[in-house]
Amino acid sequence: MYSFYLLKTNALLLLLGLHLHSLNAQSSLPKLRESLSPKVYNAPKYYDVPKQHVEDIKAIFYESIEFQGKPTRVFAYLGIPKSNKPVPAMVLVHGGGGTAFHQWVKIWNAKGYAAIAMSLEGHMPDDNQKGKLKHDYSGPSRVGMFDDIDKPLKEQWMYHAVSDIMLAHSLIASLPEVDANRIGMTGISWGGVLSSLTSGVDKRFKCVAPVYGAGFLYDSKGHFKDMGKGTEAVLKKKRYWDPANYFAKSKMPTLWVNGDVDAHFSINITSQSHHLIKDNAQLCIHPSMPHGHGAGWDSTRVPEIYTFVDHILKKKGTGLGRISKQPKGLKVKLSFESKVAVKEANIYYLEKDLSYTNENKKFGPGNWQVIKAVVKGNTVTGQLPESCKNYYVNLKDINGNIISSKLVSL
């Protein structure tokens, strides 16, 4: 009997050790924060690019860290709304294949925020603000899924991307029109990966809203499964860049946003990321939300981002509600807190294991079924069929904002 319990205890300790190991950067690699150049905390020099200005939004280059001994610069769009007092600001982090988007800056400017959107892959637009041109001061470009991991740390794309984001904060915070104590960040897709990682490194940001991208990339059921190709040793090294290593102890208010059919970042890793920092985080899962920059910044599709940021940086409105007790099992019951009335609740469920396979030329987990739940006071209840394998619950308030439960796998 003693040996049985000893074996069981050792097995539990092994599992715990493996989990903790997954949340720590590889010991053979340097710690990121300590490896960053002190330069990232100081406002960089920047230069106007008048030919690329778009209405009131300036096109600029700002100086960044060296790459292979050479100076680099980052192209960005910078917009500041007119105001008689300093305004809050947002740093906007694009996704893979993206670049600096003046359209994104304009959206935040219209809402009373200064904003900066930079190109993290060494690009600038052509003379018609279209396309992506490589410029003479480019740093490294993204190579697959951390496929430059065997290069020295300071030559890897992620190292430069994080540095460029922090420099963008330093730049916009230095402007007299901006309140340096009210700066947030949002990122889409790869930008979600980068913004969530940076939130655990740079404590100057007051809030972050990663869209699609999250931590626990190695647990993804979709494209990020195993984070690309390589030997086991290489894959272990790649985990150095998993955002969960960095935001695990973050106290930064975080809004995780994803769709339930996104093949790039499966819903389980968004739920895991939320759970890891649940005391400081909220979760928003949009049914059938497509993957893309337009969907990820659309204020009609994802109003929660703007409600979340407004409440933190402007002390405006009542903010988003919060799930105070998560559901479990087929007999659904959860509790929530909200200063705004919740008008409806829906349970979305799958009658199969969560997987992202190509079915009928659609890469995703298949169609989620939905049933109405009952809202009574601050409690939501519902009953799922025995066939249910995975589910989550969405609550919608009278302002149209969604708050979501964690993903429950049975």
Q: What is the pLDDT of residues 20-42, one digit of tens each?
A: 444 544 444 579 999 999 999 99
Would 26 be classed as within a structural domain? no
State what percent of residues in the chain have pLDDT above 90.
81
pLDDT value of position 324: 97
Give the CATH number for residue 353.
2.60.40
Output the pLDDT for position 364.
Answer: 66
The token pair at 13 is 């300790």
Average pLDDT over residues 84-100: 96
Using DSSP's 3-state secondary structure scheme, residue 305 falls into helix
311 plus 404 within the same structural domain: no
Q: Do 331 and 222 share a structural domain?
A: no
Same-domain check for residues 59 and 136: yes
Average pLDDT, the chain: 90
Count structural domains, the chain.
2
- Give the separation between CA 160 and CA 141, rounded to whole angstroms: 9
Start-to-end CA span in the chain (Å) = 30
Buried-exposed string 310-341: b where 16+ CB fall within 10 A, e elsewhere: bbbbeeeeebbbbbeebbeebebbbebebeee
pTM of the shown model: 0.92
| CA separation, residue 273 to residues 22, 156, 291, 409 (Å) | 13, 24, 19, 15
Residue 12 placed within a domain: no
| Final residue belonging to a domain, choices 270, 302, 320 | 320
pLDDT (tens digit, 9 = 90+) per residue, 366-381? 789 999 999 999 999 9
- DSSP-derived 3-state class of residue 273: helix
pLDDT number for residue 23: 52
Q: Which of 13-27, 125-139, 266-280, 302-316 has the lowest mean pLDDT?
A: 13-27
Q: Is a pLDDT exceeding 90 seen at residue 3?
A: no
At residue 293 the predicted structure's pLDDT band, cuts being 50, 70 and 90, is very high
Are 294 and 351 in the same domain? no
DSSP track, 13-27: HHHHHHHHHHTS--T
Predicted pLDDT of residue 358: 57
Within this chain, do residues 346 and 243 fall inside the same structural domain, yes or no? no
Domain CATH number, residue 74: 3.40.50.1820
291 and 398 housed in the same domain: no
Query: Is residue 125 very low, low, confident or very high in pLDDT (cuts 50, 70, 90)?
Result: confident
**73 and 167: one domain?**
yes
Q: What is the pLDDT of residues 256-292, one digit of tens each?
A: 999 999 988 999 999 999 999 999 999 999 999 999 9
Assess if residue 156 is contained within a domain: yes
**400: containing domain:** 325-409
Q: Are residues 94 and 229 in the same domain?
A: yes
> Is 134 among the domain residues?
yes
Does residue 354 share a domain with residue 294? no
